[in-house]
Each structure stands twice: as structure tokens, then as C-alpha cells.
Amino acid sequence: MFPTKNDLSESVRARSIEMLNLRLADAIALQTQVKQAHWNVKGPHFIGLHKLFDEISDAVLEYTDLIAERAVQLGGVAEGTARMAVQRTLLKPYPLDISTGKAHCEALSSALATFGQAVRQGIGEADRAGDKDTADLYTEVSRGVDQWLWFVEAHLQADA
């Protein structure tokens, strides 16, 4: 770790950096999955979903940046390469054989839910470790992910 005058103990910072890099991998994987859906969605709701997926992608890029920068603020290194994301993510691989809006909404809702659950677990872990700022960051991300999950799932809850 890099030296810092941050008053969190080195052990707390090390644990937080480790957790942040795991969520960074998930955020990177999620953003690429959302873009995959954005580029490949087809069907009668194309334009609405295409735009929605782009908005989600932008938000997830912001979460990625928040998570990575927090790791660096604590004296760590943001481990955000594509290779690291693939090796570490909790997200399942995105299906490449889907095209309909419904299928993409199903796949993305699962990815968003997985990421949201991991982030929520991070809130408690960071809080128990004594890093309230990281817990707060996770809370912010969690609220955003829950909103995007709601938007995506709304497309699955209608009959038409």
C-alpha cells in the first residue's frame, strides 16, 4: 500500500481495498454486460430499452469510478483491468445468443441483482471493519442499482 495520512488503520484500509477491488471487478463486468444488451437488443421496445441500457451503462461507469477511486484514496491500487474483472467477478457470463428485449431484461435483472446483493453485503462488511466512508459509498451505489433493477424489471412485469 501507498503511504497516506488517512487515519484508518492499515489493516482496515487493506481490507477495504480488497473488498473494493472485488466490487470493482463486478462493476466492470456489469457495465460490459449492459453495453452488450444496449448494442444487441431487438424487438418492439427497442428504442426504449436501447436508451435505458445506455443510461444504466453511464451510471455503472460512475459507480466504477467511485469504487476505484476509493481504493486509491485508501492507499491501494485500483485493479480494474478487463482480465482482473473476468477473473474476479461474481456475475455469470452474459448470454450471447439472446436478442429480444425480454431476454435482455431477464439477463440484466439477474446481473443487477447479483451486483446489488454484493454491494449490500459490502455495506455491512465495511461498517464492521470501521470504514464508514466505504460503507456510505456502497450505500449510494446500492440505491442506484436498486433503482435500475426496478426500471429493468418493470419491463418483465407487464403483459405486453
Mean pLDDT of the chain: 96
Give yes or no for residue 160 having a pLDDT over 60: no
Q: Which tens digit of pLDDT belongs to each residue from 26-76? A: 999 999 999 999 999 999 999 999 999 999 999 999 999 999 999 999 999
For residue 24, give the amino acid letter. L
Distance of CA 104 to the CA centre of its chain: 17
Alpha helices in the chain (DSSP H): 10-40, 46-73, 82-88, 101-129, 132-154
Give yes or no for residue 155 having a pLDDT over 60: yes
Quick one: pLDDT at residue 73? 97
Residue 28 to residue 152: CA distance in whole angstroms: 19
CA torsion through residues 56, 28, 6, 131, sign: positive
Residue found by looking up cell 492507499 in the block? 75
Give yes or no for residue 159 having a pLDDT over 80: no
* pTM, entire model: 0.95
Q: Which tens digit of pLDDT belongs to each residue from 113-133? A: 999 999 999 999 999 999 999
Closest CA to 57 of 41, 42, 44, 81: 41
Measured CA distances, 151 to 50, 93, 144 (Å): 13, 22, 11
- Domains defined for the chain, CATH in brackets: 10-154 (1.20.1260.10)
